[in-house]
Structure 1
Amino acid sequence: MLKKLMISGAVSALLTSAAYAQDVTLRLAHFAAESHPGHIAAESFAEAVEERTGGAIAVELYPANQLGSPPEQLEQTILGAIEMNLPTQGGLDKYEKAFGTVMTPFAFNSYEHAHEVLDGPFTDWAGPKLEEQGLVLLSNWEYGFRNITNSKHPINSPEDVDGLKLRTPPELQIVAALEGLGASTTQIAFPELPNALSQGVVDGQENPIGVIYHYKLNDFQEHLAITRHVYNSMVHVINKDVFDSLTEEQQTILREESKRAGNMMREAVIAQEADEIAKLEAAGMQVTRPDLTAFSALMGPARERVAEYSGQENMDTFLSFLD
């Protein structure tokens, strides 16, 4: 595990400065496009923090992977070279396995269900575990339920997924879900995905509706199936040493404004999904809404893989939060 002993010299100098808590710039790096609700929420967070601290804390934003790939950004936040980040649970579980349980296939039946679990018992349980890795969880934001696109044919049943070659991020939960439906999977970095789709390296991919829409993946994919097979969200985290160096009032402001911005993003993502699907359809994409009962019924082996990865004790605890 990466430890806080490796904090960069620049951050270490800040931490030893008595003025740090009174005048500081915090960098917030993330992977969302500038038009995505995630970045719009980040802008709102930055503006509110600067206003409420009277300019003592400035937040600089680096969207769309400007400071490296998502894994690189998260690692640099743990090291202290970047102060804040918005990874998903799929990034965080590389450091704390409890976060891997969130992406259990078909765990949540609605956005409201996911928010209730994550904001309540899950954060109370997993937040302290994350601090042991050098990160403070400020609040849960949004990303969304993930759905499958492809260039071959409509998906109306699990049999229609069988045999498709689909790109996934390097997250076992997503791989397990799609392979449980009979797809073959390959991991391709997101910036390389448009080329892979246009050249037929893969038949399709899976992502939340907002990503499919904002990155115009419909330019390369004809079919979208609303499968909602995995849920995950952005999680607003800050380097623990940086957070601990702030005044109690500043810490409270960061937590409150992170929560407000996260709720803003949630509302935007949920409100925009139907409109974005309609726009994708208007642009020529064929959308199917299969009955998900048959899909979920095939997830036994996938859930076993997630439990093995995350730890059975962690999985048992997570499942206890779902009822």
Structure 2
Amino acid sequence: MLKGGKNMIRYKTLTWLLIFALLLTACSPRGNKSADAKETYVLRVSHPYQMGTLHHEYMEWFDQEIQKRSNGRLSLEIYSGSQLMPPEQEIPGILQGQIDMTHSLSSIAGSFDPIWYFFDLPFLFNYDPKDPNVYLDNRKKFIESEQGGRLLAKMAEEKGLKVLAMSSTDLFASLWTANKSKKITDTSSAANLKLRTPGGQVAPDTLKAIKASGISIPGTELPTALQQGVVDGLITVPLYLYDNKLPVKTQTLYPFVNYVMPVIMSQKKFDSLPTDLQNILIETGKDLEQHADQVVRKKVSKIYSKLEQEQGVTTYYPTHEEIEQWKKTTAPVWNSYAKKEPRAAELIKEAKRLIRETK
């Protein structure tokens, strides 16, 4: 009887140990991964651009890709055209948990963190007025560089933001005038002109360097301002101007501002996702950069001829001597920005290195 009692005690002990072991297995990280595989996640996205723009098309492409790669476990809920909030509130909105992601613009991001105004530096990337691919190649190398775009992404992480991609929807922002008599050629031809500026810290300094003045005008009022001579011209990118059919007559190919369009999400939200979904977001972000690069190359290859044939815009191709003159005249802007934003030192160093390498 005593022996049987001991066996019964051993049997009960083994049973409880087995149950305990099963519970531990169910609560292990592997068990959580199994549970995550059945859970779905929806990221709330806000951006300021209308449906039909490349910005919105990129977000739709991103959504389709992450759904496909995650077997439907991860998707985007996209709000375009500033439906949820103004563009300058989107990055703060990410940090406050109001939204999870935005497809922003470097000049907008600069209002949150001035390091993004780095892309407003003139002649930032090597370029050939007659071959857009020279500029696009150099910009692409910088974005993919560990001491360039990837370093800037690390700076964003320090502020609670995860940069998934630095895509682009256009070429560099050049100089446009509404009257052919005010066509810009050398630096002296730009003196005293009133140009609509994209804002920020750097572009106004560049205008001062060429003795022009910058005026801030809402996009809705710009066509009238150009027609009535309130401004002589503007600084903008060619695909945007073509799509919006702004009343201008000349374009001069100087790389005045270099916009990038980062896809940014909450670092906290990113960290809360399962590892496999994090990896999908990272890889899809890299692929978006490649996709966007191919789209822009195709569109800008014929943009100057389309502008002339369809909208009567003539394009001025600066000479080598004029380009060197502009570089020399605007060089102090680089020094001024470097003093205001010491964190940009490594970015500037890398940009200059890549320019030297591609010459």
**TM-score bin (small chain):** 0.7 to 0.9
Q: Which runs of 5+ in 2 are unaligned?
A: 1-34, 127-134, 354-359
Q: Partner of 2:334 in structure 1?
A: 303
Asked if 2 retains the 8 angstrom alpha-carbon contact of 1:101 and 1:307, the reply is no
Asked if 2 retains the 8 angstrom alpha-carbon contact of 1:226 and 1:288, the reply is yes
Q: Partner of 2:244 in structure 1?
A: 215
Deviates more, 1:21-30 or 1:107-116: 21-30
Aligned 1:108-147 pairs, distance under 5 A: 108-109=125-126, 110-120=135-145, 121-143=147-169, 144-147=171-174
Asked if 1 retains the 8 angstrom alpha-carbon contact of 2:119 and 2:260, the reply is no
Count of aligned pairs between the two proteins: 302
Q: CA deviation at 1:58?
A: 2.0
2:289 is equivalent to residue 272 of structure 1: no
CA distance in 1, matches of 2:183, 2:76: 44
CA distance in 1, matches of 2:230, 2:97: 37
Q: Which runs of 5+ in 1 are unaligned?
A: 1-17
**Which of 292, 307, 315 matches 1:287?**
315
**Which of 254, 260, 271 matches 2:281?**
254
Asked if 2 retains the 8 angstrom alpha-carbon contact of 1:89 and 1:100, the reply is yes
Identical residues among aligned pairs (%): 24
Q: CA deviation at 1:156?
A: 1.8
CA distance in 2, matches of 1:34, 1:156: 36
**Which of 215, 224, 231 matches 2:258?**
231
Deviates more, 1:160-169 or 1:297-306: 297-306
Indicate how the Cα distance of structure 1 residues 200 and 91 shifts in structure 2: closer, same or farther if over 3 A, else same. Answer: same
Q: CA deviation at 1:20?
A: 12
The DSSP-based 3-state class of the residue aligned with 2:88 is helix
Deviates more, 1:86-95 or 1:106-115: 86-95
Q: Partner of 2:23 in structure 1?
A: none
Q: Partner of 1:9 in structure 2?
A: none
Q: Partner of 2:122 in structure 1?
A: 105
Instruction: Using structure 1 for the length normalisation, give the TM-score.
Output: 0.85
Q: CA deviation at 1:42?
A: 1.9
CA distance in 2, matches of 1:321, 1:33: 34
The DSSP-based 3-state class of the residue aligned with 2:304 is helix
More helix by share: 2
The DSSP-based 3-state class of the residue aligned with 1:302 is helix
Q: CA deviation at 1:19?
A: 7.6
2:214 is equivalent to residue 185 of structure 1: yes
1:129 is matched by which residue type in structure 2? Answer: M
Which has the larger Rg?
A: 2
- Higher RCO structure (Cα 8 Å, ≥6 apart): 1
Asked if 2 retains the 8 angstrom alpha-carbon contact of 1:145 and 1:231, the reply is yes
Partner deviation per Cα, 1:191-231 (whole Å, 9 max, x = no partner): 443343344322211111121112222xx212211211221
- State the superposition RMSD in angstroms: 2.3
